[in-house]
């Protein structure tokens, strides 16, 4: 998407969401920010012995920095780029997006009747540097049968999602409890994102001054 809307509160600043995720676009728009979207194309391979926390933070920062670096120099001066990454983690293992039904069955069988963590990192890149943080949410799933998982795969929902599920969709019924940030599980933590942007001088739809 290439439409650029200038932030009305600060005509010289531009916010860009470095993401192809429709969920992240919706969540950022929900807060009242005006922004453009530019997907970032980076290598998402996990480094040897890299911990999930370090991995998501590195990727969020790289996504943001990559899009900032692609901007013409004159634009870069006034631009702030938001990047994010979400991983589902079980027993320290990063469970990515499924390549096929077997992947989906393996992943959701691990999550069945168990607790896992969803780690979402956000990062804001500008000429001043890149700032980021990680939000961790604990999720407990009900018991899932193989038949249920196979039927879930056929809905098409798990395909583009970390951990093979979407809490905001059909998989909402798998979730017994959640401790942390619902929006972070969907892809963008609302509270932390607003804080990060406010620190950089952006305001959403709520003006207190």
Ligand X SMILES: Cc1cn([C@H]2C[C@H](O)[C@@H](COP(=O)(O)OP(=O)(O)OP(=O)(O)O)O2)c(=O)[nH]c1=O
Catalytic residues: 85
> Distance (Å, rounded) from C-alpha 164 to C-alpha 55?
18
Question: Could you tell me the smallest distance in angstroms from the CB atom of residue 94 to ligand X?
Answer: 11
Task: Pick the closest to residue 157 from 104, 205, 115 (CA basis).
Answer: 104
Whole-number Å distance between alpha carbons of 186 and 142: 19
27: helix, coil or strand?
helix
Q: Which residues bind ligand X (CB under 6 A)?
A: 19-21, 23-24, 39, 63, 84-86, 88, 118, 160-163, 165-168, 185-187
Beta strands in 91-128 (DSSP E): 93-95, 115-126
The nearest distance, CB 30 to ligand X, in angstroms, is 14
Assigned token pair, 139 = 């999720």
Output the smallest distance, CB 27 to ligand X, in A.
10
- Rounded-to-integer distance, Cα 128 and Cα 110, Å: 42
How far is 22 from 93, CA to CA, in rounded Å?
Answer: 26
Q: Which residue is nearest to ligand X (CB)?
A: 19
Please say which residue, 65 or 203, places its beta carbon nearer to ligand X: 65
CB closer to ligand X, 14 vs 116: 116
103/160 with CB nearer ligand X: 160
- Strands in 5-112 per DSSP E: 14-17, 36-37, 79-90, 93-95
Name the minimum Å distance from CB 1 to ligand X.
Answer: 12
Which residue number, 46 or 200, has a Cβ lying nearer to ligand X? 46
């Amino acid at each position: 998407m290439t439409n650029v809307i200038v932030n009305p509160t600060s005509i010289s600043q531009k916010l860009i969401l470095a993401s192809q995720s429709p969920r992240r676009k919706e969540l950022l728009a929900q807060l009242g920010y005006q922004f453009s979207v530019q997907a970032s194309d980076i290598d998402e391979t996990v480094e040897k012995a890299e911990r999930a926390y370090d991995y998501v933070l590195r990727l969020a920062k790289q996504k943001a920095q990559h899009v900032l670096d692609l901007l013409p120099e004159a634009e870069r001066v006034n631009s702030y780029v938001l990047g994010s990454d979400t991983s589902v983690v079980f027993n320290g293992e990063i469970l990515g997006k499924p390549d096929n039904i077997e992947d989906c069955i393996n992943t959701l069988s691990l999550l069945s009747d168990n607790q896992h963590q969803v780690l979402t990192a956000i990062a804001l890149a500008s000429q001043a540097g890149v700032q980021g943080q990680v939000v961790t949410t604990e999720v407990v799933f009900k018991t899932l049968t193989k038949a249920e998982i196979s039927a879930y795969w056929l809905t098409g929902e798990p395909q583009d999602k970390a951990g093979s599920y979407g809490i905001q969709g059909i998989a909402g019924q798998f979730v017994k409890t959640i401790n942390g940030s619902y929006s972070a599980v969907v892809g963008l933590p609302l509270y932390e994102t607003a804080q990060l942007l406010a620190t950089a001088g952006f305001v959403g739809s709520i003006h207190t001054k």
